Amino acid sequence: MLPPAFYETGDLDVAREFSTIGVVGLGTMGAGIAEVFARSGFDVIAVEVDDDGQERGKGHLEHSTGRAVARGKLSAEDQAALMKRITFTTRLEDLSTADFVVEAVPERLELKSELFKRLDDICRPDVVLASNTSSLSVTELGVQTARPDRVIGLHFFNPAPVQTLVEVVRTVVTEPGLIDDVTALAEKIGKSPVVIGDRAGFIANALLFGYLNHAVRMLEAKYASREDIDAAMRYGCGYPMGPLALIDLIGLDTAYEILDTMYHQSRNRLHAPAPLFKQMITAGLLGRKSGHGFYRYAAPDSSEVIADTQTPSVGSGSDATLLRPIKAVGVVGTGTMATGIVEVFAKAGYDVLVRGRTAEKAEAAVAAVRKSLDRAVSKGRMAEADRDAVLARVTPTAALEDFALVDLVVEAVAEDLDVKRSVFATLDTVCKSGAILATTTSSLPVVECAAATSRPGDVVGLHFFNPAPVMKLVEIVSTVSTDADVLATSQKLCLDLRKVPVNCGDRAGFIVNALLFPYLNDAIRMLEGHYASADDIDTAMRLGCGLPMGPFQLLDVVGLDVSLAIEKTLYLEFREAGLAPAPLLEHLVTAGRLGRKTGKGFREYN
Contact 168, 139 (CB under 8 A): no
Structural domains of the chain in order of their starting residue, each with its CATH number = 4-196 (3.40.50.720), 204-306 (1.10.1040.10), 320-505 (3.40.50.720), 520-598 (1.10.1040.10)
Catalytically active residues, by annotation: 134, 155, 167, 205
Comparing 67-76, 181-190, 454-463, which segment has the lowest mean pLDDT?
67-76
SS3 state at 97: helix
Model pLDDT, residue 500: 96
Question: Which residues in 197-311 belong to E strands, given as ranges?
Answer: 296-297, 305-306
Q: What is the mean pLDDT of the chain?
A: 91
pLDDT at position 10 is: 37
Task: Check pLDDT > 50 for residue 213.
Answer: yes
Query: DSSP for 538-569?
Result: HHHHHHHH--SS-HHHHHHHH-HHHHHHHHHH
pLDDT given at position 136 = 86
Strands across the sheet with 165-169, in order?
86-89, 43-47, 20-24, 100-103, 128-131, 151-156, 165-169, 192-196
pLDDT at 7 over 80: no
Strands 100-103 and 43-47: unpaired
Please state, as a whole number, how many other Cβ atoms lie within 10 Å of the Cβ of residue 79: 18
Q: Please, which pLDDT band fits residue 606 given cuts at 50, 70 and 90?
A: confident
Residue 14: per-residue pLDDT: 55
Give the model's confidence band at 159: pLDDT under 50 very low, under 70 low, under 90 confident, else very high.
Answer: confident
Query: Residue 320: what pLDDT?
Result: 52
How high is the pLDDT of residue 301? 82
Q: Residue 267 — pLDDT band, cuts 50, 70, 90?
A: confident
- pLDDT at site 9: 35
Q: Is the pLDDT of residue 202 over 90?
A: no
Nearest to 507 by CA among 480, 472, 486, 484: 480
Contact in structure between 413 and 332 (CB atoms under 8 Å):
yes
User: Residue 389 and residue 412: Cα distance in Å, rounded?
Assistant: 24
- Percent of the chain clearing pLDDT 90 (strictly above): 80
Confidence of residue 312 (pLDDT cuts 50, 70, 90): very low
CA angle 435, 441, 443 (to 5 degrees): 140
- Confidence (pLDDT) at 576: 86
Give the integer Cα–Cα distance in Å for 218 and 580: 19
SS3 call for 277: helix
Asked whether the predicted pLDDT for residue 311 surpasses 90, the reply is no
What is the distance between the alpha carbons of residues 487 and 477, in angstroms, rounded to a whole number? Answer: 8
The pLDDT score that the predictor gives to residue 321 is: 58
Q: List helix spans (H) across 404-533.
A: 417-430, 446-451, 484-496, 512-528
pLDDT tens profile 77-89: 999 999 999 999 9
CB contact set of 360 (below 8 Å; sequence gap of 6+): none
- DSSP-based three-state secondary structure for 476: strand
β-pairing verdict for 151-156 and 128-131: parallel
Residue-wise pLDDT tens digits, 326-364:
999 999 999 999 999 999 999 999 999 999 999 999 999
pLDDT at 313: 42
The span from the CA of 36 to the CA of 190, in Å, is 9
Residue 362: how many CA atoms within 13 Å on its side-chain side? 19
Q: Band of the pLDDT at 111, cuts 50, 70, 90?
A: very high
- Give the per-residue pLDDT at 17: 83
Backbone angles phi, psi at 464, to 5 degrees: -80, 160
> CA-to-CA distance for 276 and 221, rounded, in angstroms?
10
**CB contact at 8 A, 235 and 472:** yes
The amino acid present at 424, given as its one-letter code, is F
pLDDT the model gives residue 254: 86
pLDDT for residue 309: 56
Residue 600 DSSP code: B
Q: CA torsion sign, 566 to 567 to 570 to 571? A: negative
Rounded to two decimals, the pTM is 0.84
Mean pLDDT of 168-188: 93
Q: Which pLDDT band, with edges at 50, 70 and 90, does 155 fall under?
A: very high
